[in-house]
Structure formats: C-alpha cells, structure tokens
Amino acid sequence: MTWFTKFVTEMVTDTMSKSSNKDLDSYTIKSGDTLSQIAEDRSLGTSDLLEANPSIKNPNSIRAGQNIKIPGTKKEPEMDQFGGSVDTSNSILPINIRQILNPTQDRTNADFSQEEIDAFQKVYEYSQTPEARERKTKAGQDPNTIQYSDYNAFAGVQAGDSAQGAGNTFQFSKLTDPVYNLKTTLGKVSAPKTLDDGTLEFSDVYDFPAKTQSTGVRKLGEYFQSVPGAGLNPYRQVRNYMGFYGPQEGDGTGGLTRLRLKP
C-alpha cells in the first residue's frame, strides 16, 4: 500500500469509526437484568454486547445502574439481483471513493448501491435513445457504447466532471449524485455483452494512461513536479497520482468491474 492510499484509508476509517460510535444506543442495567437477555431482546448475541463494551470482562458480572452501549440490530445480509452478498459495511462511501481506495479490486453488482445500479440503468437507457445514438455516430463513436456525454445529459452532471479539462474547484455535494459517481467510476463503457438469459453485462477496467516511463527517484520527482498542474481539485489530484502510481493501462493490475442489468 502506498503512502497516499494508506493516508486516505486511515482518514476514512477513522471517520467511519467515529460515525459508528455515535450510532450506538445506551442502556441502563436494571436489577435482575442479564447480558444474555438484554442481547436477546434486541436480536443480538452476547458477543455483540461484549464487543461494544470492552470494559465488561465477565458477562455474568454486571450491576444495576451500569450503562452499556447497544450496537445496531443485526440484519440478514443483503443480496444483489444475481444472488451475491452485498457488503454494506462501507456503504457510507460512494463507489467512486471506494474504487480509489482499492483500485485493483474487482467489482460486481454487489459492490454498488441499488441507487447506483438504478442510475446506471437510466444512463444506459438514455445512451440508446435515437438522439444519443445519432450524436455518437456523428462523433465517430460506437453508438452501442456509453460515453461521457451520456452522463452529462443528467442534471448536476457536466463536462469535466471526470477531470478531463476540469477546473480547480470541486463540489463535494456531487458525491451524493449516483450518476456523477458512476461517471467517475466507469467513465466510457464498451458495448455490453448479452448473456443467455438476455442480461446485459458491462465490463470496465480501472486503469490510467501512464504519466511517465521513469522509475524510482526520478519518477517521484516528476510526480511532485506535476502536482501544481493538477490544481486544487482533489479529484484531479487523485487522477494525476494514479497516472504515476495507480494501475496503468495494459499492465493488468486494474480492477475489473462487471455490472449487469436485467432486461
């Protein structure tokens, strides 16, 4: 793990940890209470309460008037439409930020929120309208693909959002827009493959054009020289960094995203 991704990961982890602690409820133990009964009443296990209350060394030794923390109620794991388990532990982060933190990880529908999948469905449907297909054909692009212009047709998303020619400012409120998050995660997407059941499968590799062929200290020096040119826009800075130290086009290290849409 590079110093950059380590720093961002630690910062996000710390933020999520603090947020998680704020979500804990508290309970004042009454006479006759047992830890196992408190847990059962809340569809929890005794181990969940012990994990949330590390000061309790013996689950059979609690006292009336003692305050304990109650973690969130356990839920059955969410499943995506293809039977994959959805990891909601980091769902506080949009898909484009999670991809930056782990650019070599392969991803499927299970890594996207339902809101993001629904947004991608809308983008694809728009990309295949006569208007959009004609525009791409005139531009010499395959009309069956998804281009940046297809995302730009949606309110709040505009040219430059993926950092090609973007300005030096960045609105963090954009991170709540699923279309923007998809544009900065997938970007241009090749024509989908149609599976036997009619499902459309879209594939995209997360990689970047190499900024340099240098190595070692020379490469590091070139990277630091490039930082001012990326401006104050944090997303441009990330893309610039990835051009030096992220997955490079053709090196086979970028994460493969396979996103499926049912007919």
Domain extent listing, the chain = 23-70, 77-261
Check residue 257 and report its DSSP letter: E
Please choose, from the candidates 119, 110, 261, 127, the residue with its C-alpha nearest in 3D space to the C-alpha of residue 198: 261
Burial of 105 (0-12, 13-18, 19+ CB in 10 A): middle
With cut-offs at 50, 70 and 90, classify the pLDDT of residue 130: very high
- Confidence category of residue 194, pLDDT binned at 50, 70, 90: very high
pLDDT tier for residue 91 given thresholds of 50, 70 and 90: low
Which residue has tokens 């898909």?
Answer: 95
Fold annotation for 23-70: Membrane-bound Lytic Murein Transglycosylase D; Chain A (3.10.350)
> Which segment, 26-40, 175-189, 218-232, is predicted with the most confidence on average?
218-232
As given in the structure block, the two tokens for residue 118 are 């629904």
pLDDT of amino acid 260: 93
Residues 6+ positions from 7 with CB-CB distance below 8 Å: none
**How far apart are the C-alpha atoms of 162 and 183, rounded to whole Å?**
7
Bridge partners of residue 68, in order along the sequence: 27
Predicted pLDDT at 227: 93
Percent of the chain with pLDDT over 70: 75
What pLDDT is attached to residue 243?
Answer: 92
Q: How confident is the model at residue 46 (pLDDT cuts 50, 70, 90)?
A: confident
Cα 24 to Cα 68: distance, rounded to the nearest angstrom: 10
With a cut of 80, say whether residue 24 has pLDDT above it: no
Closest to 257 (Cα-Cα) out of 209, 205, 208:
205
Q: Which residue has the higher pLDDT, 222 or 21?
A: 222
CA distance to 160, 183, 200, 209, per residue, from 141 (Å):
19, 17, 20, 20
Q: How confident is the model at residue 232 (pLDDT cuts 50, 70, 90)?
A: confident
Of 55-64, 135-144, 231-240, highest mean pLDDT: 135-144
Integer Cα distance of 49 and 71 in angstroms: 7
Q: How high is the mean pLDDT of the chain? A: 79
**Residues 36-58, mean pLDDT to the nearest whole number:** 85
What's the rounded mean pLDDT across residues 145-168?
67
Alpha-carbon distance of 154 to 176, in angstroms, equals: 14
Task: With beta carbons less than 8 A apart as the criterion, state whether 233 and 168 touch.
Answer: yes
What are the helix (H) ranges across the chain?
A: 3-22, 35-41, 46-52, 95-101, 114-127, 130-138, 148-152, 178-183, 216-226, 234-245
pTM of the entire predicted model: 0.59
Of 33 and 73, more confident:
33
pLDDT for the residue numbered 19:
42
Q: Which of 20-34, 93-107, 143-157, 211-225 has the lowest mean pLDDT?
A: 20-34
**pLDDT for res 192:** 94
- Residues sharing a CB contact under 8 Å with residue 257, sequence separation 6 or more, in sequence order: 106, 107, 108, 111, 185, 186, 202, 203, 204, 205, 206
Q: Is the pLDDT of residue 90 over 50?
A: no
Check pLDDT > 80 for residue 166: no
Give the pLDDT score at 93. 75
